[in-house]
Amino acid sequence: MEDCKLCMLVTFFLIITKMVATGKYIPTTLEGPFDPVTIRFDPSLRQGSDDIPMDDPRLKKNVTSMFPEQIALALSTPTSMWVSWVTGDAQIGSNVTALDPTSVASEVWYGKESGKYTNKKTGNATVYSQLYLFEGLLNYTSGIIHHVRIDGLEPGTKYYYKCGDSSLPAMSDEHVFETLLLPGPNSYPRRIALIGDLGLTSNSSTTIDHLTRNDPSLILMVGDLTYANQYLTTGGKGVPCFSCAFPDAPIRETYQPRWDGWGRFMKPLISRVPMMVIEGNHEIEPQGYMSLCWGHMLTITVQYAWLKEDLHKVDRMVTPWLVAAMHPPWYNSYSSHYQEFECMRLEMEELLYQYGVDIIFSGHVHAYERMNRVYNYTLHACGPVYITVGDGGNIEKVDVDHADDPGKCPSEGHNIPEFGGVCHLNFSSGPAKGKFCWDRQPEWSAFRESSFGHGILEVLNSTYALWTWHRNQDIYKEESSGDQLYIVRQPELCSPSTSLKVIFHFNIRELLFNSLFYFSCGKRIEVSLKRDPMRLSKERKQKKVQRYLQNGRGFCHCSS
């Protein structure tokens, strides 16, 4: 109990410090559900931008022979790291010959001091080819792709490294990375960046510039990276959207060199900050699901049988935060992709709810949206916080229409998923009962904005995390944010055995300086009522609290 009070007091201090530094109040999910807010697209801005051309210096190959390029990091464990890179020249044409992956070594030299590489690890190399059977379509074969897993590292430690083949010699310049902390009390990734549907446009460039200045320790990409499959094999523009049919083509084409350009474009960032990728519809493969343990937090990608077993293994005392990531959103009030993945939600939502998943990130919709805590389209204090960050800046432009806008409710023939069935449904309860679309912003949609941007998640302790969304058009400052709030876990309320208990949330501004004890323990007062608390007015809630406090029956939970 004393440890709990101490950590909550530290959280209180951090929140107060943040408020003083930024000069603004940051709400918490304890105060929800929030009234829906919509910030519409600014017509003075362009809705999108063209892709960066392949002859741009950021996309062109700038090394020779077998020197490494497209260097990238990916997580393995707190004591290991994957390093990947490409050597040699890719080929595109009617006749291509794959390079020999054994012709060059895969080495990483590394150490704790700059210029002193006391250790070496070797790995494997491969190539891939995109071959078309149709006349007139150009084939592609990649450079040699290297993967080396460095293990035996110390957690929370900075390492300097070079990669390549020391016998040629053909080694990269020096790069640096920092390993994650071991799972344990208050060991979390410092700043986790969330981006989705990035692409390779001028808007994408702005997103990455802003994200880089936010200095993340980890990047989670929730799918759709390059949009290379919207190009012809000749490099010419093919189609403006993923679902659009290719003109005069027997098969969907892809211009693979845009993947190489994307790797070069991202290299300055992901050669020093590990990036984990969730597959999107532009790079979907059936085997692409995984879980990642980041200090005191577990992130999972979704596939049912594996997921159920993986969730069952999680010890919430060691890993209190559960964050799920998948490309398509289940909760979405935009016209684009509206109810497109209802079948998936119907099959899997209960499982994630039962195991107390805290946050669910998605992309696919090219705009930003954060939901109130919700379960089965009903406001629920123990439901996850769903956040859509498919606003990275890709060529398909920002989504601006909402399903509740007049005339913008999709018809039954729209938003058909490429994989899986169709489960479009009318709502069975609430203000939209009997309708396919709401006639106003749904109550479960807390904040939505048609702008490009990125998000940062900062986990403070086992119950508090700060979520900040930055829009691209803002001049970057630490205190500049489009949407920001503290996401608060309530494990004593929302464990599987107590998830149906009633909880009230109160305005932190009214309690902040009057009752440090109640705030330090999560600022919660629990009252047993038969009536649905969501239907009570704020004034009636406050009266209930006052009465229970006067009678000595109000209490605050702290885990021991």
pLDDT at 22: 55
pLDDT tens-digit series, residues 202-226 = 999 999 999 999 999 999 999 889 9
Highest mean pLDDT among 138-152, 415-429, 463-477, 512-526: 138-152
Tell me what percent of the residues of the chain surpass a pLDDT of 70. Answer: 78
pLDDT at 304: 76
pLDDT at 13: 54
CA angle at residue 499 from 496 to 504, to 5 degrees? Answer: 155
98-119: average pLDDT: 98
Asked whether residue 504 carries a pLDDT value surpassing 70, the answer given is no
169-194: average pLDDT: 89
Range with lowest mean pLDDT among 325-339, 480-494, 499-513:
499-513
Pick the CATH number of 33-64+183-406+442-503 from 2.60.40.10, 3.60.21.10, 3.40.50.970, 3.20.20.10: 3.60.21.10
pLDDT at 546: 45
337 is catalytic: yes
Handedness of CA 104, 101, 272, 452 (dihedral sign): positive
pLDDT at 14: 57
Q: Is the peptide bond before 33 cis (omega within 30 degrees of 0)?
A: yes
Residue 238 banded pLDDT, cuts 50, 70, 90: confident
In the chain, ranges of CATH 3.60.21.10 domains: 33-64+183-406+442-503
Asked whether residue 415 carries a pLDDT value surpassing 50, the answer given is yes
Give the tokens for residue 380: 């629920």
337, 364, 454, 470: the catalytic one is: 337
Q: Which CATH class is domain 79-179?
A: mainly beta
Handedness of CA 551, 557, 558, 560 (dihedral sign): positive
Residue 528 banded pLDDT, cuts 50, 70, 90: very low
The residues near 271 (Cβ < 8 Å, ≥ 6 apart) are 71, 72, 73, 175
* Of residues 482 and 532, more confidently modeled: 482
Supply the angle between the helices 202-213 and 257-270 in degrees, to the nearest 10: 20
Residue 1 banded pLDDT, cuts 50, 70, 90: very low
Residue 318 banded pLDDT, cuts 50, 70, 90: confident
419-428: average pLDDT: 88
User: Which DSSP string corresponds to 447-499?
Assistant: EEE---EEEEEEE-SSSEEEEEEEETTSPP-TT--SEEEEEE--HHHHSTTTT
Residue 7 banded pLDDT, cuts 50, 70, 90: low
pLDDT tens-digit series, residues 434-453 = 999 999 999 999 999 999 99
Whole-number average pLDDT of the chain: 83
Edge-to-edge, what's the strand order for the sheet holding 291-294? 37-39, 445-449, 368-371, 385-389, 359-362, 321-325, 297-300, 291-294
pLDDT at 110: 99
Strand-pair partners of 149: 82
452-459: average pLDDT: 96
pLDDT at 76: 86
Asked whether residue 507 carries a pLDDT value surpassing 60, the answer given is no
pLDDT tens-digit series, residues 389-400 = 999 999 999 999
d(CA 228, CA 142) in angstroms, rounded, equals 14
456-478: average pLDDT: 87
Asked whether residue 161 carries a pLDDT value surpassing 90, the answer given is yes
11-37: average pLDDT: 76
pLDDT at 319: 86
Strand-pair partners of 78: none
Handedness of CA 202, 262, 469, 443 (dihedral sign): positive
pTM of the model: 0.83
Contact 387, 362 (CB under 8 A): yes
DSSP 56: S
pLDDT at 199: 95
pLDDT at 378: 96
pLDDT at 495: 75
Edge-to-edge, what's the strand order for the sheet holding 91-93? 91-93, 139-141, 129-130
In the chain, ranges of CATH 2.60.40.380 domains: 79-179
